[in-house]
Amino acid sequence: MNADDLHLHYGPRTIFDGATLAVEPRDRLGVVGPNGTGKSTLLKILAGQLTPDGGQITRAKGIRVGYLAQEHGDPGEGRLLESVLATAPGKDQVEARLHEVEAELHGTHDEEEQLALAQELADLTARLTALEEDFAPHRAQRILVGLGFSQDDFQRPVKEFSGGWRMRAALAALLFQQPDVLLLDEPTNHLDMPSVHWLSGFLKTVRHAVVLTCHDKGFLNAHVTRVASLELEGVRTFRGNYDAYLEQRELDLEHLERRIEKEAQRKKELEAFVERFKAKASKARQAQSKAKAIERLEADRVDIPQVRRPMRIEFPPCERAADPVIRVEGLRFGYTQVPLFEGLDLTVRRGDRIAIVGANGMGKTTLLRLIGGELTPDAGSIKLGRNAAMSYFAQHHAEDLVAGRSVLQEVWAAQPDMAQTRVRSILGSFLFSGDDVEKPVEVLSGGEKARVALARILAAPKNVLLMDEPTNHLDTESADKLTESLEAYDGTILFVSHNLDFARRLSTLVWDVSRGKVETYPGSLGDYLDHLGQLEVSLEASLGGGGAAAAVAEVVPDDKAARMAARQEKKAKEAEHRKTLGRLTREIEALEAQIARLEAEQAELEATLADPATHADSERSRKASLRYEKVKAALEAAMESWTEKEAEREGLGPA
């Protein structure tokens, strides 16, 4: 699939101006860029959902394209499982034609026509059988369970589910269809941690092209081998994962800066020569030659690419709170007569960074709201330590913004005693400057509203932060900057997030919320996931809902000694698998970085060899040719090694 010379404008605003992108077979392409650069728009164009003002989309004949938008439309009238099964490509047409042929066969007495129809009926039946094998119900069930649905959900009408669960149903249908090109716009939105973990494993088994946007840097790193960066100058592609892209972009910028510096120095020397000798007849020809060289430098001049300013977040030092910071005792709460929590006891120590995980509907957000005072418990107590003060970032923070206020007024309201210059400075850190601060909050985009909510927290910083999906609506770079700032924050943090990179880097403790209980796991989210083992295997084995730990528990023997032995053996195997996988991943990433450097050098040498001035200097031409052959051979060897290592990693399989 190719997008060539795309042009798109929304009023006076230019989204694309000659953008070009190729999607290769079995591609793993991540589309990145700040909010507002057109990532979702590009996917809509590739999916055929939006027609650009100019340019062309070409697709290989017969390929099927599947597209997951950030927002899903009408869910229809069907039940969950049947709605997924109904998306099997071509099945409806085959069944419809089969019924037509059966009717025609019963309605004709012509022997020759009967034979032809009987043959077509046999062919259609064979095709239908093949489709039912390729798109079997058990496969749809496995996908639905992996995305968090229970068997009881299979017969529920899709329209009964909330918006987030409808998005999961749409994703399940898309994965079930096995399209040739899979376009995923923020696929981890609306997923909980177990479902993100399952989806990550599933995508590694997909053998077709995948193009995705995602604000989770860890998810991007795990699933892309090429990056398309939407920049002010257009679309640039980089080989490697997201981290490799950041490194290569930095190297490119350094190389460009050195080139510009050298050209500026050369121009300065030429101008000095011209100025010194332009009046001397004996040097007139040389001065004229130098002047033409200056003109060529000007014509070939390159500029530093315009870089969008990233967010700058720096939390000030916190007042020290007494330890423990929070104590939950005998907590009881429910939205109905059946309590969601009962007799819950929890302790939060000073400096804890607690990741609250579990399946959707288990009460993660409810627990956070209870601790933050947004909800009142039916029984029990939540006590804060001396000097402990909390800030709460809600998942639906847009609802907390006051309509009619400007961005400046909204943030200033969080700390009315603060000088306006300081408020403006904070807003500048969150990319609001000039007239932007006077915008009414109701006209802001989702990403802008998230930045306003974060700016409010920074305007009135506390020593305990409660954060519910703080990276939602942020682009990858902004989510990374937020993570960095929270890593340096010296207070206590309790958070819910499906962003694996954010949660892995930040957490020092995990609370797994399931069936009214909260299990505590010391260590980071990575340690917790290692403890749970292969979540997708246990989910498929149990074919049921529940928390992550509960799903794993169903495949562990009841006997304590047997459980311990099984766990130790499993952990040993997983450790060896992780060691081998880690080694291969590091080797592959090193090779990808080497390939990127060699490709860049090869391109420079090709430009040098194409320059007539090079061939005017035989020694320079000889050296460039020799170097080109060496680089070409090294690149071929690196590509061969990369192919071997990638095949070895794919053949490694799950732990």
Give the rounded percent of residues in the chain with a pLDDT score beyond 90. Answer: 22
Q: What pLDDT is attached to residue 435?
A: 81
- 491 pLDDT band, cuts 50/70/90, is very high
Predicted confidence (pLDDT) at residue 537 exceeds the cutoff of 50: no
Predicted confidence (pLDDT) at residue 430 exceeds the cutoff of 50: yes
Q: What pLDDT is attached to residue 496?
A: 92
Predicted confidence (pLDDT) at residue 558 exceeds the cutoff of 70: no
Predicted confidence (pLDDT) at residue 636 exceeds the cutoff of 60: yes
Instruction: Give the chain's mean pLDDT.
Output: 82
Q: How many CB atoms lie within 10 A of CB 501?
A: 24
Predicted confidence (pLDDT) at residue 440 exceeds the cutoff of 50: yes
Predicted confidence (pLDDT) at residue 195 exceeds the cutoff of 90: no
Pick from 210-214, 540-544, 615-619 the range whose average pLDDT is largest: 210-214
226-231/234-239 β-pairing: antiparallel
Q: What pLDDT is attached to residue 608?
A: 84
Pick from 222-231, 300-309, 433-442, 635-644 the range whose average pLDDT is largest: 222-231
First to last CA, the chain: 34
**Mean pLDDT, to the nearest integer, of 489-500?**
91
Predicted confidence (pLDDT) at residue 69 exceeds the cutoff of 80: yes
Measure Cα distances from 638 to 592, 596, 626 in Å.
8, 10, 18
pLDDT tens-digit readout, 381-417: 999 999 999 988 887 766 677 888 888 988 888 888 8
Higher-confidence residue: 111 or 427? 427
pLDDT tens-digit readout, 230-266: 887 788 899 999 999 888 888 877 777 787 778 778 7
Poorest-confidence range of 99-103, 379-383, 575-579? Answer: 575-579
- 553 pLDDT band, cuts 50/70/90, is very low
d(CA 509, CA 490): 16
d(CA 353, CA 595): 39
Homologous superfamily of the 326-559 domain (CATH): P-loop containing nucleotide triphosphate hydrolases (3.40.50.300)
Homologous superfamily of the 571-652 domain (CATH): Valyl-tRNA synthetase, C-terminal domain (1.10.287.380)
Q: What pLDDT is attached to residue 549?
A: 42
2-97+129-244 and 326-559 share one CATH topology?
yes
Identity of residue 553: A
Q: What pLDDT is attached to residue 556?
A: 34
Q: What pLDDT is attached to residue 568?
A: 57
Considering the four listed CATH numbers 3.90.550.10, 3.30.70.100, 3.40.50.300, 3.30.930.10, the one that applies to the domain covering 2-97+129-244 is 3.40.50.300
Give the rounded percent of residues in the chain with a pLDDT score beyond 70. Answer: 89
- In three-state form (DSSP H/G/I as H, E/B as E, the rest C), the secondary structure along 218-271 is HHHHHHCCEEEEEECCEEEEEECCHHHHHHHHHHHHHHHHHHHHHHHHHHHHHH
With contact defined as beta carbons under 8 Å apart, do 596 and 570 qualify?
A: no
What is the full DSSP assignment across 53-98? SEEEEE--TT--EEEE-SS-----SSBHHHHHHTTSTTHHHHHHHH
Pick from 69-73, 100-104, 446-450 the range whose average pLDDT is largest: 100-104
- The model's pTM is 0.62
Domain boundaries, the chain: 2-97+129-244, 250-299, 326-559, 571-652
- 569 pLDDT band, cuts 50/70/90, is low
Predicted confidence (pLDDT) at residue 545 exceeds the cutoff of 50: no
pLDDT tens-digit readout, 269-315: 878 877 777 667 666 677 777 777 777 777 666 565 555 667 788 88
- Closest by CA position to 185, among listed 381, 547, 475, 391: 475
pLDDT tens-digit readout, 6-51: 999 887 778 888 889 999 888 999 999 887 788 889 999 999 989 9
**Mean pLDDT, to the nearest integer, of 615-628?**
80
Q: What pLDDT is attached to residue 369?
A: 92
Q: What pLDDT is attached to residue 303?
A: 61
